[in-house]
Amino acid sequence: LKDYVTRMKENQTDIYYITGASYEEVAASPFVERVKSRGFEVVYMTEPIDEYCVQQLKEYDGKKLVSITKEGLELPEDEAEKKKFEEDKAKYENLCKVMKDILDKKVEKVVVSNRLTTSPCCIVTGQYGWSANMERIMKAQ
């Protein structure tokens, strides 16, 4: 993490990470698209113990550790990007309602996000819930 912090972009305030079963899995994840397109590094954590460690280690060197797979990911944006995102939210509001009605209790909510760049959608874990990787680990117990 020490090396990561020295390489952080000037406008980057958080340490971004993703957990998963293998390097290949996390590197190909849709969650890394936007973060990497911004030029930010993502720490790939592929050992089961990593999942437990990041739950306890909330920050390093004054920088917050942020899972890119959880709700609440905020990346620096300029005004044009913010405006486009607000337009997209309004444009797809009805689609989100229809999808939520169809999925009903299988999902908590359906929202427009600016998290992805090329993938059409992703399922995001609640900010305080277990990550998909942690659920996988617990099921394997």
Residue range 74-122, pLDDT digits in tens: 998 889 999 999 999 999 999 999 999 999 999 999 999 998 999 999 9
User: How far is 36 from 39, CA to CA, in rounded Å?
Assistant: 5
User: How far is 50 from 45, CA to CA, in rounded Å?
Assistant: 6
Model's pTM, two decimal places?
Answer: 0.85
- Percent of the chain beyond pLDDT 90? 70
Tally of CB atoms within 10 A around 35: 21
Q: Which residues pair with 45 in a beta bridge?
A: 19
- Using the structure block, give the residue that is written with the tokens 């680990």: 137
Pairing of strands 63-67, 43-45: unpaired
User: How far is 137 from 48, CA to CA, in rounded Å?
Assistant: 7
Pairing of strands 59-60, 63-67: antiparallel
Residue range 7-54, pLDDT digits in tens: 999 999 999 999 999 999 999 999 999 999 999 999 999 998 898 898
Residue spans in the chain of domains classed CATH 3.40.50.11260? 1-76+120-140
Helix axes 79-91, 93-103, angle to 10 degrees: 50
Q: Is the dihedral of CA 34, 69, 54, 134 positive or negative?
A: negative
Tokens at 80, concatenated: 């044009």
The DSSP code for 118 is S
Class of domain 1-76+120-140: alpha beta
Can you give the pLDDT at residue 125?
83
